[in-house]
Amino acid sequence: MIYLDSAATSLIKPACVEHAVVSAMRTMASPGRGGHLPALRAAEEVYAARETAAELFHAEDSTGVVFTANATHALNIAIKSVAKAGMRVVISGFEHNSVTRPLAAIGADICPAGTRLFDTADTLTDFEAKIRGAELVVCTYVSNVFGYILPVYEIGEMCRARGVPYIVDASQAAGVLDVDFQRLHADFVAMPGHKALFGPQGTGILLCRRDAVPLLHGGSGSDSIEQHMPDYLPDRLEAGTHNVCGIAGLRAGMEHIKTRGREDIYRHEALLLRRMSAALEGTDGLELFTGETQCGVLSVRAAGMGCEELAEKLSVRGVCVRAGLHCAPRAHMSAGTLTTGTVRFSFSPFTTEDQVAEAAEILKDILNTKSV
């Protein structure tokens, strides 16, 4: 099997992640819910994970590191803490439904900016024009469909200059690109734990610079006599029992990134992207979506064959990819692929050059067989 769907979730994880999950399952209870040893172990693990995340993402204070169920959960907290009905919200042209659906549910006035794929100059010009009068900006760091790296730091400077709240979706960037909470000037940064951070599914992080409105209300292990959620982070946003096993695995994944080096991970995935693109370049009937500012993802579509059919044929041959709209119709609208979708290949630090070469040959063989 050749797994090339890491933009959905990391399947191959460092061995330390599994070890951490199993150890937590066997030795840890619920943090903040007792003074006995298993509860104390859990509290220490959760605290250590916050500290690791704060260090990795350059947060000033680990109390602003909130653990969530996934990036969607984190984005809902952030968006619903700021956006209101009728509020003018500028988003990029490549947002995931985890951004657009909450905004639509609220009834925000959504204004897309930067809709030209792999065109950083146009993105900056369009944001500069549309941010005037905006009351909130939400921008993805990397498109989950095309791997387009958006200029989130420059957009953050625009927001800071105008006093506009700013939310960054770092789902495809965290663990691969530099996510510097201080330099981003973001009010919130959301990310999953289970993609390039190598944590288990059911984990996510929200970095908070400002107060947020809880989505859930319940036990926090603190201020229990009060009938409202605590007014301080992270307790305010972490109702209910923590996913201690998941958080332990997530910490192990983040420690692995620190040991291997995020820059090395980026270089490896960039190399795989170049290798795959070069191997497929010039293939009859195959359209590649590539650009200068791209990371870890390659989308393609084939003339005369639907994306779902092509993905199914690849799966039969042992190549795991994702096809369709990838929960991001806004991105496909911008790229002109809304009616067809794309087939997405996405890489991880554990993907090899040989696997990429073999997958490319299998894809070309499928297309050649179709044309015979």
Instruction: For the chain, give every domain's residue range.
Output: 2-10+262-371, 15-260
- φ/ψ of 352, rounded to 5, equals -105, 160
Average pLDDT, the chain: 96
Contact yes or no for 2/321 (Cβ under 8 A): no
pLDDT value of residue 323: 98
Tokens of 320: 């795991």
The neighbour count for residue 126, using CB atoms within 10 Å, is: 20
- Residue 184: pLDDT above 90? yes
pLDDT value of residue 223: 74
Beta strands 188-192; 166-169: pairing state:
parallel
**pLDDT tens, 329-357?**
999 999 999 999 999 999 999 999 999 99
End-to-end CA distance of the chain: 26
The Cα 15–Cα 19 span in angstroms is 6
pLDDT value of residue 371: 53
- Residue percentage of the chain with pLDDT more than 70: 99
CA angle 113, 118, 121 (to 5 degrees): 60
Query: Measured between alpha carbons, how far is residue 8 from residues 73, 85, 176 in Å?
Result: 16, 31, 15
Determine the angle formed by the axes of helices 262-280 and 244-260, rounding to 10 degrees.
80
Confidence class of residue 372 from pLDDT cuts 50, 70 and 90? very low
- Fold observed for domain 15-260: Aspartate Aminotransferase; domain 2 (3.40.640)
pLDDT value of residue 113: 98
For domain 2-10+262-371, the CATH architecture is Alpha-Beta Complex (3.90)
| Whether the domain at 2-10+262-371 and the domain at 15-260 fall into the same CATH topology | no
Query: Measured between alpha carbons, how far is residue 84 from residues 15, 109, 151, 174, 338 in Å?
Result: 44, 9, 26, 28, 28
pLDDT value of residue 249: 98
**pLDDT tens, 315-331?**
999 999 999 999 999 99
Closest CA to 199 of 262, 258, 255, 253: 253
